[in-house]
Structure 1
Amino acid sequence: MPNYWWVNHKQTLRQEIDGQYLWSPKTERNGARSQFYDNMRRASPGDVVMSYANGQVAWVGRVAEFAFTAPKPAEFGNVGSYWDHEGWLLPVYWTPLSPPVRPKAMIQRLGPLLPQKYSPISALTGNGNQKAYLASVPSEVFDMVVAEAAFSADVLARGGGNSLTFDAVTEMLDDAIQKGLEVDATLDSTIKETVIQARRGQGAFRKNVEARERACRLTGITNPALLIASHIKPWRVCRTAAERLDGANGLLLTPDADHLFDRGFISFGNDGDVLVSPRVPDDDLRRLGFENLMRQRSGMSESAAIWRMDAFGAAHSKYLGYHRTQVFIA
């Protein structure tokens, strides 16, 4: 069964509906955690979102991908000028709700169904709550709101073939960064070339990774022809050329393992243990040929454990800390 969400996004309504996504900072302005922003990482593909702005719910969306790190969309312009540049992007396929529904008009019936903590609107007045962004709501709230209007459930469930995807967005972000590097007058041509090669796990970056790593930490494969040099802290979010070329910011992984790691479905502890996202179904791990990951997650005996390698050093651990908190889907 899907989870149900309610987003208050008056300031960014048009950009997020047109772009088929939601975007939020990762923390409050003062660096404090926000449940409403943390919820971006809790949302899962197939979940349902109601869009609330200007006193009405006019759109219903289906979460298309897990949220991932992305810069504040350029189309926001000066909106949220105090927000951090780096935040969470959650792809959502939107479809209209017609006619739009005004929750305030039904607050006497709706109020008792709203969550007592982290509610998107006041259960007494129906006004939007300050600082509320993405809020979890019971399915009964969704049912009551949409009962006042109509939307195409089939389109919501099956539409969105052209929606944003993790691969499409990250490729676009990488392209933009590469173009910036190509015209960066502070970098000489040799550095530019090596940093751009590192985007694909090639050149000096691969050599630096191979100097530290000898095998895929998920499968134990050592054949270089079967291994990808994968960044731990993604190339697109590295701040310097040194980070993009640092061998400690890389692992050698087989293509399937690289996809799981890059997408945040697995990560690694500093002790070398593999961490498996609880939101990857066992059936998917089995079909990918990673039954041992499934067994490890279920707590079976050590004899079922996957290939085990040594603990990571301090240099690797710094980057892995970023991956566990900003990439891994817990």
Structure 2
Amino acid sequence: MPNYWWVNHKQTLRQEIDGQYLWSPKAERGGARSQFYDNMRLASPGDIVMSYANGQIGWIGRVAEFAFTAPKPEEFGSVGAYWDQEGWLLPVYWTELTPPVRPKAMIQNLGPLLPKKYSPISALTGDGNQKAYLAAVPPEVFEMIAAGAAFSQDALARGGSNSLTFDVVTEVLDDTIQRRIEEDAGLETTIKQTIIQARRGQGAFRKNVEDRERACRLTGITNPSLLIASHIKPWRVCQTATERLDGANGLLLTPDADHLFDRGFISFGDTGEVIVSPRVLDEDMRRLGFEKLVRQRFGVREAPAVWMTDAFEPAQSGYLDYHRKQVFIS
């Protein structure tokens, strides 16, 4: 069964509906954590989202991917000028709700169903709650909202041709960053080429990784033609050329292992233990050939010994810490 979410996004409604996503900062101004922003990482593919803006719910969405780190969308312009430039992007496929529903008009019946804590609107007045963004709500809230309106359930279930994927979004983000590098008058041409090659795990970056890593840490494969030089802290969020080219910021992985790592389905501890996301289906891991990862799960069966690889070097620890906190899907 899906989880249900309610998003208050008056300021960014048009951009997020047209772009098929939600985006939030990772923390409030000043660095304080926000449950409404943390919820971006709790939403899962298949979950349902209700779009609330200007006093009405006019769109119903289906989460298409887990959220991941992305820069503030350029189309936001000056909106949220005080927000951090790095946040969570959650791909969502939207379909229109007709006619739009005004929660305030049904607050007497809707109010008792709203969560006592972190509610998106006031259970008494129906007005939007300050600082609320993505809020978890019980299924009964969705059922009441949708009861008097219509939306394409078939389109919502299928996703549609405009539904975003992790690969599509990150490709666009990487293209944007590459363009900025190419236009940077302060960088020499050879440096630009080296940084851009690192995006694909090529050139100096790959050599730097190969100086530290000899094999895929999941499969043990050593054949260079079967290995990808993968960034630990993603290329698109590195702040400097040094980070993008640092061999300590890379692993050699087979394509399937690279996808699991890049998407945050696995990570590594500093001492070499493999960490598996609890939000990946066991059957999917088996089909990929990673039965060992399934057997490792605590709570699924008796807990076996943790799958260990070689310990990482101190220079790799900072990048791994970033991956565990900002990429890994916990």
Aligned to 2:260: 260
The aligned runs of 1:281-320 (5 Å cut-off) are 281-298=281-298, 299-302=302-305, 306=307, 308-320=308-320
Partner of 1:108: 108
Superposition map of 1:211-226 within 5 A: 211-226=211-226
State the match for 1:247 in structure 2: 247
Q: Which residue of 2 is the match for residue 134 of structure 1?
A: 134
Corresponding residue of 2:91: 91
CA distance in 2, matches of 1:129, 1:203: 51
Give identity over the alignment, percent. 80
Partner of 1:10: 10
**Which residue type is aligned with residue 301 of structure 1?**
P
Counterpart CA distance in 1 for 2:58 and 2:66 is 23
State the alpha-carbon separation in 2 of the partners of residues 301 and 77 from structure 1: 51
**Where does structure 1 differ by over 4 angstroms across 4 or more consecutive aligned residues?**
none
Q: Does 1:22 align with 2:22?
A: yes
> What code does the residue aligned with 1:30 have?
G
What does 1:175-186 align with in structure 2 at a 5 Å threshold?
A: 175-186=175-186
**2:143 matched residue in structure 1:** 143
Structure 2 residue aligned with 1:34: 34
Task: Name the CA distance, whole Å, in 2 between partners of 1:37 and 1:177.
Answer: 25
Query: C-alpha separation between the residues in 2 aligned to 1:100 and 1:320?
Result: 45
1:195 aligns with 2:195: yes
Please say if 1:278 is aligned against 2:274: no
| Cα distance in 2, alignment partners of residues 145 and 182 from structure 1 | 49
SS at match of 1:79: coil
- Please report the TM-score for the alignment, with normalisation by the length of structure 1: 0.97
Contact 2:232–2:249 (CA under 8 A) maintained in structure 1: yes
What is the deviation of 1:311? 1.3
In the TM superposition, residue 184 of structure 1 has moved relative to its aligned partner by 1.4
The one-letter amino acid paired with 2:62 is R
CA distance in 2, matches of 1:44, 1:276: 16
Distance apart, 1:87 and its partner CA: 0.5
Q: Give the Cα–Cα distance (whole angstroms) in 2 for the partners of residues 94 and 162 of structure 1.
A: 9
What letter matches 1:99 in structure 2? P
Task: Please give the alpha-carbon distance, in whole angstroms, between the structure 2 residues aligned to 1:249 and 1:289.
Answer: 26
Please give the alpha-carbon distance, in whole angstroms, between the structure 1 residues aligned to 2:104 and 2:183: 52
In the alignment, structure 2 segments of 5+ residues that lack a partner are none
Deviations 1:53-77 (A, max 9, x none): 1111111000001111111111111
Deviations for 1:180-201, whole angstroms, at most 9, x for unmatched residues? 1112121112211111111110
For 1:160 and 1:83, locate their aligned partners in 2 and report how far apart those are by CA, in whole Å: 31
Equivalent residues of 2:6, 2:50 under 8 A apart? yes
SS in structure 1 of the partner of residue 316 of structure 2: helix
For residues 55 and 178 of structure 1, what CA distance do their matches in structure 2 show?
Answer: 40
Distance in 2, Cα, partners of 1:61 & 1:238: 31
Q: How many residues align?
A: 327
Alpha-carbon separation, structure 2, partners of 1:325 and 1:51: 28
Deviations 1:217-261 (A, max 9, x none): 111111111111000000011111110000000001000000000
1:325 counterpart SS class: helix
Give the whole-Å Cα distance in 2 for the aligned partners of 1:314 and 1:19. Answer: 40
SS at 1:83's partner residue?
coil
Q: Distance in 2 between matches of 1:155 and 1:71?
A: 29
Whole-angstrom distance in 2 between the partners of 1:12 and 1:176: 21
User: CA shift at 1:309, angstroms?
Assistant: 2.3
- Partner SS for 1:52: strand
Question: Which residue number in structure 2 is paired with residue 235 of structure 1?
Answer: 235
How far apart, in 2, do the equivalents of 1:281 and 1:174 lie?
29
Q: Secondary structure at the match of 1:92?
A: strand
What's the C-alpha RMSD, in Å, of the aligned pairs?
A: 1.0
